Amino acid sequence: MTATWQQARRILCVRLDSLGDVLMCTPAMRALRLAVPGRTLTLLSSPSGAAALPFIPELDDVITWSAPWTKSATSAATRSATPASAPAPIATLAARGFDAAVIFTTYTQSALPAALLCHLAGIPLRLAHCRENPYDLLTDWVPDPEPATLVRHEVQRQLALVQRVGCRSADLGLSFVPRPADDAAARTRLLAAGIDPDRPWILLHPGASAASRRYPAAHWAHVLRLLAQELQLPLVLTGSAAESELVDDIQFASAVPAISLAGRLALGELGAALRLAAVAVTNNTGPAHMAAAVGTPVVDLYALTNPQHTPWNVRSRVLFHDVPCRFCYKSTCPEGHQACLDGVAPQRVADAVRDLLGVTHAAPAAATA
């Protein structure tokens, strides 16, 4: 590690995207923190990413901002909570006296707007991947090899970034640590629904912020029916308050006694519920990375919008239907067919759940009239 980075005690970690993106940076954040005794980390992130602060022990503080050049700033929920026109937090960053900033991006993003922000705030060390020459905006420029020469998992990309300034960690797991109160609340809700949290049950999360990453609702209903018939384990549906109608529709269409906790779990409680579940079934969205962080096997219904965000460091099954339009990086399917998810047969999902549970043979299906 260079002498200047060795002396850096107050680090700003910039990740302006959503919860799952922040979680995939946590191994790199851990490496940053452990490299220098007494070092503190502050996260600059969107409202969604900032919500993770209480559950990431590597972080000491958070500054919430919806950067106008990010996708998070265009969502209706974000616009109502934090207008995209909110001024850049230059004065806030300057007042905090950060010694260094580490700007985490995907290879489809430019680090230069955030680098300019940190430069104007007087942060003396600024590290990022960048494809174009940043000149003085970055003091530590890592030329971006992606996608020209390789494409890495998002976790590997961020670990490689901090390794360039001498920060490494043997612990490569994601961080999300529910609090004891979250665990108690999740257990109480499950018991109230008639589910023993200490016996096997399955959590299913049908929502996702991007329409292109949502497995079709009719397929979800079919999955519930198959799991109810083949495994006869309790099924619990989760989602945000905004996803309650979707969850209710899936529950009604499935005609099986699944339990809905949509809109009833705070973020930490959802993390605790994921930790208690035997298997989680999710779209490629934040709860998939939360499941990986708490060590719960996950069936990831993986829309082929990008190749970099599969479940990290956890037992998983990643299901998709290959399509010529793979890796479109779009929030809405540009072809209008969503074939990369629509083509995943519900029986494949049920088989993946059985595989992760170690159940080799399906139970006989219930008789039908």
pLDDT digits (tens, 9 = 90+) for 274-312: 999 999 999 999 999 999 999 999 999 998 888 899 999
Q: What is the pLDDT of residue 306?
A: 86
Superfamily of domain 3-163: Glycogen Phosphorylase B; (3.40.50.2000)
Query: Minimal CA–CA distance to 105: which of 127, 75, 134?
Result: 127
Instruction: Say how far apart CA 45 and CA 67 lie, in whole Å.
Output: 8
| Domain locations along the chain | 3-163, 180-357
In terms of Cα–Cα distance, which of 106, 108, 128 is closest to 119? Answer: 128
Average pLDDT over residues 177-181: 98
Helix (H, G, I), strand (E, B) or coil at 200: coil
Does the fold of domain 180-357 match that of domain 3-163? yes
Q: How confident is the model at residue 177 (pLDDT cuts 50, 70, 90)?
A: very high
Q: Per-residue confidence at 329, pLDDT binned at 50, 70, 90?
A: confident
- 203, β-bridge pairs: 236, 280
Q: What are phi and psi of 127, to 5 degrees?
A: -115, 135
Report whether 18 contacts 99 (CB < 8 A): no
Q: 346 near 222, Cβ under 8 Å?
A: yes
The whole-number pLDDT of residue 85 equals 53
pLDDT of residue 368: 36
Judge contact between 217 and 250, C-beta under 8 A.
yes
Higher pLDDT, 324 or 187: 187
Single-letter amino acid code for the residue at 104: F
Contacts of 253 (CB under 8 A, 6+ apart): 217, 218, 221
Helix (H) or strand (E) segment spanning residue 37: none
Alpha carbon distance 174, 27 (integer Å): 6
Structure confidence at residue 76 (pLDDT): 43
The phi and psi torsions of 70 (rounded to 5 degrees) equal -105, 160
Residue 2 pLDDT level (bands cut at 50, 70, 90): confident
Q: What is the pLDDT of residue 320?
A: 92
CA 186-187-189 angle, 5° bins? 65
Looking at 3.40.50.2000, 3.40.50.40, 3.40.50.620, 3.30.1330.40, the CATH number of the domain 180-357 comes to 3.40.50.2000
132-141, long-range: CB < 8 A, 24+ apart: 137/112, 138/111, 140/5, 140/164, 140/165
| Phi, psi at 15, each rounded to 5° | -140, 105
| Pairing mode, strands 40-45 and 61-64 | parallel
Per residue in 15-73, pLDDT tens? 999 999 999 999 999 999 999 999 999 999 999 999 999 999 999 999 999 999 887 66
pTM, rounded to two decimals: 0.92
Q: Are 126 and 139 in contact (CB under 8 A)?
A: yes
**pLDDT tens for each residue of 198-238:** 999 999 999 998 888 999 999 999 999 999 999 999 999 99
- Tens digits of per-residue pLDDT, 82-130? 554 577 899 999 999 999 999 999 999 999 999 999 999 999 999 999 9
For residue 152, name the pLDDT band (cuts at 50, 70, 90). Answer: very high
Asked if pLDDT for residue 156 goes beyond 50, the answer is yes
Percent of the chain at pLDDT > 90 equals: 82
* pLDDT on residue 273: 98
Provide the H-helix boundaries in the chain: 3-6, 19-35, 47-50, 76-81, 90-96, 112-120, 154-163, 180-192, 217-230, 244-254, 267-276, 286-294, 339-342, 346-357
Q: pLDDT value at position 78? A: 45
Which amino acid is present at 158?
Q
